Structure 1
Amino acid sequence: MFGFSIFLNETLSQQQKDYVAQMAQAGFKGIFTSLHIPEDDATKYRERLSQLGSWCQEFQLDLMVDISGNALINAGFQMENLAELTAIGVTGLRMDYHISNKQIANFSHQLQIALNASTVTQQDIAELKAANADFSHLEAWHNYYPRPETGLAEDWFLEKNHWLKANGFTIQAFVPGDANLRGPLYEGLPTLEQDRYHHPLACALWQKKSAVDLIYIGDGGLKERTKKQFERFINNNEILLRVNDCGTEYFSYVLGEHVNRLDEAQAVIRSADARFRKIPHIAAQNTVSRTLGSVTVDNEKYLRYTGEIQLCQEALPANDKINVVAEVVAEEKDLVRHIRGGMKFTLEQMEEEHE
């Protein structure tokens, strides 16, 4: 499942409601927000959370709220009776610091509860069991890390997730957005440090292969192009890629929808339907070295393979039988390595983007 973040640091606007509607239409299923960000005015939280909750009810979205210590009380809510939260559309609470396992166990009988995935221990699990927690309502949610160089290490993340899965938890993690980045640092809000400056969908696809069940956009926005890419993946299992023309006669030949062959190759993505297209005479042109994201067509020198279309997943040497006809734009090359066997991918001509 995919979700996204809306923060309560300012009055919620019609523009933000439109964004929520667009994300719901794209197939996102949940919203994350926080009641304990130091820079925010906590006295405004109740009104804004109520408004956000009403949007979630309208668009049938889950609403997970991050709390710590007295965050609920500071925002004007009761700590023990959570009925008023569920009434306004809150479906879950993420527990951060200064909340006891006894309190968490009590909360788990009222709504969905997210434990801090990075810090939960075997002792916590034992204490929650002793306090009669409803484990069917417990999940494990990782943090996001605003400060560069502080995001989680990949090996540690994978090891922790393996332990969480062994203990029966649903796992959540954040990937960065690429618009409306969260202040005051504006450096992205990823769980993993390796994701900080990469394409949000590419980060999400890596996490899907790494035992993560719920993937949320940490920052407050996505570019229109990125939203479209998420929508096509969520609803059609398809990757959209923009490509530049490399100056041959065959650029238009490679544009459009393709399907990666079921028998995945190591170095390239092979278009399953390429040989079923009407194949023109393909002379040798631009037979240069290939890079990650190069789109190629086999020329007449490759005999029975003439017309085969490939998308390179790594750097490869020049071959006089292979024409390099297009190149995936730099900001979308991260996606290329995530096109699995049987997955659709569409190559679109690069045009000037209007945000």
Structure 2
Amino acid sequence: MIGFSFYLQDPSASERIEEAGKLGVKRAFTSLHIPEEQGDLAAVAAGLLEKAAEAGIQVFADISANTHARFGLSTVKGLNGLGVSGLRLDDGFSPGETAALSEEFSIAINASILFEDELLQLLELGVKPQSMIAWHNYYPRRETGLDEEFFSQQNKLFSRYGIRSAAFVPGRGEKRGPLYEGLPTLEKHRSTNPLHAAAELKELGADFIFIGDPDWGGGLLEDLILYEQDTLRIPVHSSREFDGCYKVRPDLSRDVIRLMDTRSNDPVPPQAATLRRRGAVTVDNDRYGRYKGEMQIVKNDLPTDERVNVIGMIDEKDLPLLSFIRPGTNVLLTNKNERLGDGEI
């Protein structure tokens, strides 16, 4: 499931919540214990949480042991009245307090620093696995994001106990301050296409993917929603208009991704043959007989073939997406903003 993040001092938070709600997003993350945030936090939080409730969005809030006092509340449970439905507990909460809060809230345990002994203690205290999410941190400081193998091992631990896991990818838009380095869970994703990062997190066992930065930008939220529906949107540099969603054949080939129902009886004149580099989008021309019109995406560099026209090229930064295309995946090919001239690919 896909989610996003909003923050109390982001002037665009209300608009982002409204937009996410219109797109059908049902979960959001926010932090209620950021030391540098000042002002009437309770009023701002109440307004944003009300906005989220109107949009049908469940909000998980990152809190510390003294967060409720900063909001003028006598107990943590008072956050429920503000519209918080899930708590991501930072330092300062004992296992017993966590168990008690799990009766009122969904609980996001810190998947990056909680290990099996502590987990067993929570379960023995009566915290139900279905009421927990093992939620990994995001890491604003460069070089401090999680190791891939550690992340995978932690997810396997929680999965053994029937607990789902969550993690963050950075946004495509402006990164969140004060460091502006992005908010990924894995360090390798700091400068990666966030859609690729999300696909990799899912492969590594994450059940929920949240955008850490408040400005998702560049159609990222829409791309993640499509991915949740087993559709990958891939922009293509081409002089040809792409406007279709294509299903990948069930028999996955070694060198190319074959797109179903693309063969045609219409003429496909041969073009000057060019190298088929990884990421090339091709169509079989008249010389290929009954294969005429079949579209493919090249996975491994291939030689020229006079029977195959190269009609487009995927950006190098998007090439890792090809590794996550499976039999039956839907591939939505769209044109890049910049169009290429006649004869260019």
Structure-to-structure mapping, 1:197-212, within 5 angstroms? 197-212=191-206
Match of 2:256 among 268, 274, 280: 268
CA distance in 1, matches of 2:285, 2:129: 59
CA distance in 2, matches of 1:286, 1:223: 37
Residue identity matched to 2:87: L
Q: Deviations over 1:53-73 (max 9, x none)?
A: 101210111100001232232
Specify whether residues 297 and 255 from structure 1 end up closer, same or farther in structure 2 by C-alpha distance, changes over 3 A only. Answer: farther
Match of 1:243 among 229, 236, 248: 236
Specify whether residues 185 and 262 from structure 1 end up closer, same or farther in structure 2 by C-alpha distance, changes over 3 A only. Answer: same
CA distance in 2, matches of 1:230, 1:330: 20
Aligned residues of 1:287 and 1:321 also touching (Cα < 8 A)? no
Q: Deviations over 1:23-47 (max 9, x none)?
A: 1222321110112223322x53322
Match of 1:39 among 29, 36, 41: 36
Specify whether residues 331 and 222 from structure 1 end up closer, same or farther in structure 2 by C-alpha distance, changes over 3 A only. Answer: farther
Match of 2:266 in 1: 279
Aligned residues of 2:129 and 2:161 also touching (Cα < 8 A)? no
CA distance in 2, matches of 1:313, 1:45: 51
Q: Deviations over 1:167-223 (max 9, x none)?
A: 221111111111131111111101111211122222212222322111110110222
Specify whether residues 89 and 204 from structure 1 end up closer, same or farther in structure 2 by C-alpha distance, changes over 3 A only. Answer: same
Match of 2:64 in 1: 68
Match of 2:148 in 1: 154
CA distance in 1, matches of 2:69, 2:255: 56
CA distance in 2, matches of 1:139, 1:233: 21
1:213 aligns with 2:207: yes
The 3-state SS of whatever aligns with 1:140 is: strand
Specify whether residues 134 and 281 from structure 1 end up closer, same or farther in structure 2 by C-alpha distance, changes over 3 A only. Answer: closer
Q: Give me the CA root mean square deviation.
A: 2.3
CA distance in 1, matches of 2:187, 2:56: 32
Kindly, what percent of the aligned residue pairs are identical?
Answer: 34
Aligned residues of 1:298 and 1:306 also touching (Cα < 8 A)? yes
Residue identity matched to 2:269: I
Specify whether residues 303 and 155 from structure 1 end up closer, same or farther in structure 2 by C-alpha distance, changes over 3 A only. Answer: same
Aligned residues of 1:181 and 1:219 also touching (Cα < 8 A)? yes
Residue identity matched to 2:333: L
Residue identity matched to 1:8: L
TM-score w.r.t. length of structure 2: 0.89
Aligned residues of 1:26 and 1:230 also touching (Cα < 8 A)? no
Aligned residues of 1:241 and 1:328 also touching (Cα < 8 A)? yes
Q: Deviations over 1:146-182 (max 9, x none)?
A: 1111111111111111111012211111111111311
The 3-state SS of whatever aligns with 2:84 is: coil
Match of 2:50 in 1: 54
Aligned residues of 1:284 and 1:301 also touching (Cα < 8 A)? no
CA distance in 1, matches of 2:130, 2:234: 40
Match of 2:342 in 1: none
The 3-state SS of whatever aligns with 2:157 is: helix
Match of 2:217 in 1: 223
1:337 aligns with 2:323: yes
CA distance in 1, matches of 2:4, 2:40: 21
TM-score w.r.t. length of structure 1: 0.87
Match of 1:28 in 2: 25
1:132 aligns with 2:129: no
1:100 aligns with 2:117: no
Structure 1 unaligned blocks of 5 or more = none
Match of 2:166 in 1: 172
Q: Deviations over 1:292-344 (max 9, x none)?
A: x2101223444443332111234334444432220123454343332322222
Deviation for aligned residue 1:284: 4.2
Deviation for aligned residue 1:144: 0.4
The 3-state SS of whatever aligns with 2:219 is: helix
CA distance in 2, matches of 1:62, 1:174: 17
The 3-state SS of whatever aligns with 1:110 is: coil
Specify whether residues 243 and 130 from structure 1 end up closer, same or farther in structure 2 by C-alpha distance, changes over 3 A only. Answer: closer
Match of 1:79 among 67, 75, 78: 75
1:323 aligns with 2:317: no
Match of 2:277 in 1: 290
Specify whether residues 264 and 326 from structure 1 end up closer, same or farther in structure 2 by C-alpha distance, changes over 3 A only. Answer: same
CA distance in 1, matches of 2:30, 2:199: 23
CA distance in 1, matches of 2:50, 2:73: 17
Q: Deviations over 1:237-277 (max 9, x none)?
A: 322222212x7xxx35x6533221122223321111111x3
Aligned residues of 1:35 and 1:75 also touching (Cα < 8 A)? no
The 3-state SS of whatever aligns with 1:3 is: strand
The 3-state SS of whatever aligns with 1:274 is: coil
Number of matched residues? 339
